[in-house]
Structure 1
Amino acid sequence: MALELCMPQALRHPNAQIRKLAPGVVLSAGVGALAVLGGRAEHVLFGAEWLEPLVLAILFGAVLRTLWAPGAQFSAGIRFSAKTVLEIAIVLLGASVSAQTLLAVGPELLIGVVAVVALVVPGSYLLGRAFGLPARMALLIACGNGICGNSAIAAVAPVIEADSDDVSASIAFTAVLGVAVVLGLPFLGAALHMPAFHYGILSGLTVYAVPQVLAAAAPMGTAAIQIGTLVKLVRVLMLGPITVVLSLLAAGLPAEGRRVRDASDVEQAPARKGFMPPLFILGFLAMIALRSFGAIPQVALAPMDHAASVFTVIAMAALGLGVDARAVAAAGPRVIATVTLSLVLLVVLGLGLLLLIGG
């Protein structure tokens, strides 16, 4: 009896906890499955996924939330999917990168890529604040532009305790602009008569997702694709250090723009303990270390990557189900201006790096 009292509530009554979470988790997974089908339909109709399932999951979830408000029985599962499932996905994401990537890039280019990210993130944040965005939304956009788009926004959101509306607006507008970059970057490369190697660097520095880097670099050939992917992976590796830094600074962020849904949210919110980074960020870094030392079997990498993608889509669907479409629409013009100017800053810094390394 004494042992049972010492156990967490969820472990004492696992079946009750499962019944509590199941409706919201199933709803989130269903919306995520529709998003995956939507992505496949795009590929069949247009030959490419212009909006990734991750983005479609948020959009579908937000549309459903606008047409129908899920009842109280869905709330716990939706919150679980938006937070815990997302954190598991981020840990698994760490297995997709390794420290060997750093050695392949070379010290000069490596330092340049790190410097560009280190300048873009605070620069984009200041732009967002100048346009009147809440601190957390400005940080989400800054990390999305500077690191790896939607994945960075999803990873940073729980660290800084961002509101679901801020996350959805940041991902939605960043995703649309990301497609525009993929389409427009080849024209910039051609106008500047850039060689394949340097165009690949610019692609890796400015395009958000790895598949988009491949699409943007393809017009310049295999060399551009290879270096673009390499540079992009270095940007992804910056996600770990930046999220750790943000976890240390999060307590000092202004509370503006954050919603308190009810008293229970405040009572159940865990107290911040000193400067301890969130466990899922430590797990993310641990996965990178394990991958670097070859401790993860090669046969497990593909399933882990697939699981990370599935969990992220489910989490994004859950975020969409918690979105207030009116709040997203109200933030539109300011977010568009911030994302656009942040991208301009990123391109300018990328071109400056190419000049420094002999571009």
Structure 2
Amino acid sequence: MGRVERVWIWGIAAAAGATLVAWAVHSIVPAVPLLTVAVVLGIIVGQLPVLRPAVTGALKPGLSVAAKRLMRLGVVLLGLKLSLVDIAGLGWLTITTTVLIVILTFFGTLWLGRTMGLPGHQPLLIATGFAICGASAIGAMSGVVKAKDEETATPVALVTLCGTLAIGVLPLLWHPLGLTDLQFGHWVGAGVHDVGQVVATAQIAGTAALAVAVVIKLTRVLMLAPIVASVAVYERRRQAVAVSPVGSGLPQSDDTATAAATTGARRPPVLPLFVAGFLALVLVRTLVPLPPAVLVAADLAQTVLLAMALFGLGTAVRLGSLLRTGGRALGVGLASWLLIAVLALGAVLIS
């Protein structure tokens, strides 16, 4: 085993062990999504003084690999859950309103986060997680903008908190709002963040409501590709402008040209490889009749990869710092949660 493998293997092993614990908890309490348990376990481990030296020391390289590379692999496999035929079956009105909900929530949250002065990439990451598919979307976007694990941790904690609240709050509003079973499923699919949280919330209304919720939710997941690709294009242009001498009035020296070429080589691709893989598997699921055993195996692998990744991200959360300085971030998260819930309810009522 090479030196690099020895550096990160212990963190990967810790993430794998935490995934087994999360699976056991989910088996005992099925209403609690496995991925939510994985994030919470990571947050708990990151706060314990006895474990923190290991988390920030020997385990950190492996946990970082889990949070980034395994997250991307999990997002790729998520494509096998999506069939364009199922999405088309929703009808043009439902598809249109679902896409509009994602766009309005994304830009509304991004604007609010910047208005509230959230630092760095936090507004973008929070907007991505709340609008599309929770922590997995945050992980995907963080890979494009090269966000640090610590910078990603707060958005992950917020989307996990609000998604967990949705599991308890939305069912309480189901009958008072006069929604039918299918309308409730529509509302959950359009307004809850993570796929597991959607399942946990919608299943109480029956299998038909759950089916509608999952298809609508996966329609939102499909929006991950164009939004991430658009941000990648923006990042490329921004970095190109940053190294370009045009407009400065100064000639471009050989050193400047070399620096520009070097920076350009490091710019994110127009379509990140993992997003291309995600889209490729969407097409495979749509066009190829895959055996059930393959889909089950892919779903298992995707769940394990995302659970390990979310545990790694959770260990980067520092609750003390979040409580001292995260009031604005919490406010943005709760406002975004309310925004998407209201938009989704409006879409249900007009459909």
Task: Name the TM-score class by shorter chain.
Answer: 0.7 to 0.9
**Partner in structure 1 of residue 252 of structure 2:** none
Whether the 8 Å contact between 1:196 and 1:220 is mirrored in structure 2 is yes
| 1:228–1:74 Cα change, 3 Å | closer
Structure 1's 97 and 113: CA in aligned 2 closer, same or farther, altered over 3 A? same
Secondary structure class of the residue paired with 1:105:
coil
Q: How many residues align?
A: 327
Mapped to 2, the partners of 1:316 and 1:269 lie a distance apart of 30
Instruction: Name the aligned partner's letter for residue 39 of structure 2.
Output: V
Q: Between the two proteins, what is the percent identity of the paired residues?
A: 29
Cα deviation for residue 331 of structure 1 reads 4.1
Q: Which amino acid aligns with 2:280?
A: A
- Alignment-mate amino acid for residue 176 of structure 2: A
CA distance in 2, matches of 1:175, 1:352: 24
List aligned pairs for 1:41-190, cutoff 5 A. Answer: 41=25, 43-44=27-28, 46=29, 48-49=31-32, 52-63=36-47, 67-69=52-54, 76-190=61-175
Q: TM-score, normalised by structure 2?
A: 0.82
Report 1:202-351 matches (<5 A): 202-251=187-236, 271-273=265-267, 276-294=270-288, 296-322=290-316, 327-351=321-345
Q: Following TM superposition, by how much is the alpha carbon of 1:135 offset from its aligned partner in structure 2, in angstroms? A: 4.5
After superposition, what is the alpha-carbon deviation per residue over 1:130-166, rounded to whole angstroms, capped at 9, x for unaligned?
A: 2211251111111111111122112221112122122
CA distance in 2, matches of 1:253, 1:130: 21
Q: Which amino acid aligns with 1:90?
A: V
Residues 88 and 223 from structure 1, CA distance in 2 versus in 1: closer, same or farther, beyond 3 angstroms? closer
**8 A contact 1:217–1:228 mirrored in 2:** yes
| 215 and 81 in structure 1: CA distance in 2 versus 1, 3 angstrom threshold | closer
Please provide the CA RMSD for this pair: 2.9
| 1:110 Cα deviation from its structure 2 partner | 0.7
Secondary structure of 2:197 counterpart: helix
Residue 40 (str. 1) matches residue 34 (str. 2): no
In structure 1, the gaps of 5 or more residues are: 1-14, 255-267
Using the size of structure 1 for normalisation, the TM-score is 0.80
The amino acid across from 2:285 in the alignment is: R
Q: Structure 1 residues 76 and 334 mapped into 2: Cα distance closer, same or farther (>3 Å)?
A: same
- Call closer, same or farther: CA 1:289–1:39 in 2, change over 3 Å: same
SS at match of 1:68: helix
* C-alpha distance in structure 2 between counterparts of 1:72 and 1:222, whole Å: 46
Could you tell me whether the CA contact under 8 Å between 1:201 and 1:228 is conserved in 2? yes
- Where structure 2 has 5 or more consecutive residues not aligned to the other structure, the ranges are 240-261
